[in-house]
Amino acid sequence: MNLDKCYQLLGICRGASLDELKAAYRSLARKWHPDLNPDDLDAPQRFIALNQAYQILLDRTQTNSTHSTATSTATATSPTTTVRVTRRETSQPAANSTPINQNDDRLKWQLYAELQSLLKQQQFLKAIVLIEGLAHRSPQDKQICQWQGIIYSQYGNQLIQRREFDKARIYLKKALRVDPHNRQLWQEVDRSFNRITQLS
């Protein structure tokens, strides 16, 4: 994504200050967030593009700032400092992941943090919309496939609790399709299918 496109997406002019950049990003992130646009299938892609443009301009603005400004804002603006990793993932890119540039990597982990928040709130459908948008953007990224499988599996378990067994089977099968080589996921999905058998 070139700089002109980034400025256009954020609706700011070249030479905008760091504060102006942050304000524009916050306003548009609220407007385009998938949570606030559940019926808009393009919302996840717009949100991803917005985050990518923000990271590119953020890096450029911080590089051009004085050393003191960069030092004072680095902790507050780096999305990777807030990422919490579960026992299933590591904070390093997977060895067999497709190489991605630094901006895409930051965006990926920022959206991962958003996914974690949605899962804590058991907002599985919103998490699915977000992870499917991310998977569409990076279909060869094995780590994203792993996240997608976990989200499908967890939603399947929620559906089992609600006794929506047919729908649960669909999502459990989807979990195995997107991450077929994850042994731990297979074990969890197998247990979930056993629960369906016991309850139905």
CB under 8 A, 24+ apart: contacts of 177-182: 178/135, 178/145, 178/148, 178/149, 178/152, 179/145, 179/146, 179/148, 179/149, 179/150, 182/146, 182/149
Predicted confidence at residue 22, as pLDDT, reads 85
- Sorted by where each starts, the structural domains of the chain and their CATH numbers stand as 1-81+98-106 (1.10.287.110)
* Helix, strand, coil percentages in the chain from 3-state DSSP, rounded to 5: 75, 0, 25
Each residue's pLDDT tens digit in the chain (200 positions)?
A: 688 888 888 888 888 888 888 888 888 887 878 777 777 777 777 888 888 888 888 777 766 654 444 344 333 433 333 333 333 333 334 434 444 455 667 777 888 888 888 888 888 888 888 888 888 888 888 888 898 999 999 999 999 999 999 999 999 999 999 998 888 999 999 999 999 999 98
Query: Token pair of 165, please?
Result: 């067994």
Predicted confidence at residue 163, as pLDDT, reads 93
Sign of CA dihedral 159, 123, 113, 106: positive
Predicted confidence at residue 93, as pLDDT, reads 40
Predicted confidence at residue 79, as pLDDT, reads 36
Residues 6+ apart with CB under 8 A from 133: 34, 44, 45, 47, 48
In a 3-state reduction of DSSP, which class is residue 121? coil
The Cα 3–Cα 49 span in angstroms is 13
Predicted confidence at residue 56, as pLDDT, reads 82
* C-beta separation of 57 from 22 below 8 A: no
Instruction: Give Rg (Cα) of the chain.
Output: 19
